[in-house]
Amino acid sequence: MDVIATYALRLGDDSLILGQRLSEWCGHAPALEVDLSLANIALDQVGQATHFLNLAGELEGKGRDGDALAFRRDVMDFTNCLLVEQPNGDFAQTIARQFLFSHYQALLFEQMAAVKDTRFAAIAAKAAKEVAYHATLASDWVIRLGDGTDESKARMVAGLAWVWRFADELFAMDAADAAAIEAGAGVDKSALRGAWDSRVDAVLAEATLARPAPHRATTGGRIGRHSEHLGHLLSEMQFLQRAYPGATW
């Protein structure tokens, strides 16, 4: 796959895997309103995934579409960040994951909406509105849970502690990023870190939560080195396509 296709693939994989995770909540959330909001975010993510994966397939030029990419690759070919494949855990862990990721996605798509390559810019412009809302929703819950009861605070602290080691990977740059920027499709993610830190810190302060202690970054998702969780997610998600090769649905 060429580097620009890989760049689209990474964006699509992030959205796909997070959408898959969030949809596990459907019908089981702590309150009906929460169920609807989580399903909303999941739907937005699946929509973004569809756009980016179709684009990746197009750029690759080997006749694979978004579905082929989503349902016919194995773990080592998935390029999502490790954060999004983390299990839902309790509601606090789900919110912690969403909080870190949505603020990153919001900053990313704000910038990407202005890149030269109109294919990337168009998807990002639409997605920017969606993820800005996700970031607000997640932040509101971080504040509610952090500044709620003793139990909710303890759970929020534990949720953040679980996901914090995956934050650095969001901003890591490599050759695909450099090529995408060069081609007018990509965004300098390392430059988003300052704004992300201040947005996240402001919410944590309002939530009366301390920023988790620094942790050596756990990385590898972008080059197919994942956690053990991803294989299980894929085996479920890809079941029908694997069990009935060649069938259309």
Q: Which residues bind another protein (CB under 8 A)?
A: 16, 19-20, 23-24, 26-36, 39-40, 42-43, 46-47, 49-50, 53, 66-67, 70-71, 90-91, 143-145, 147-149, 151-152, 155, 236-237, 239-241, 244, 246-249
Q: Which is nearer to another protein, 58 or 67 (CB)?
A: 67
Tokens encoding 236: 């479920």
Least distance (Å) between residue 53 CB and another protein: 7
Least distance (Å) between residue 58 CB and another protein: 15
Q: What is the rounded end-to-end Cα distance, in angstroms, of the chain?
A: 27
Least distance (Å) between residue 212 CB and another protein: 19
**Cα–Cα dist 211/234, whole Å:** 32
Q: Which is nearer to another protein, 70 or 187 (CB)?
A: 70
Q: What is the DSSP letter of 173?
A: -
- Are 24 and 97 in contact by the 8 Å Cβ rule? The answer is no
Least distance (Å) between residue 106 CB and another protein: 22
Tokens encoding 18: 């997070």
Least distance (Å) between residue 119 CB and another protein: 18
**Cα–Cα dist 166/160, whole Å:** 10
Q: Which is nearer to another protein, 170 or 207 (CB)?
A: 207
Q: Which is nearer to another protein, 24 or 169 (CB)?
A: 24
Indicate the residue type of 144.
Answer: R
**Cα–Cα dist 133/137, whole Å:** 6
Q: Which is nearer to another protein, 215 or 244 (CB)?
A: 244
- Are 115 and 106 in contact by the 8 Å Cβ rule? The answer is no
Q: What 3-state class would DSSP assign to 187? A: coil
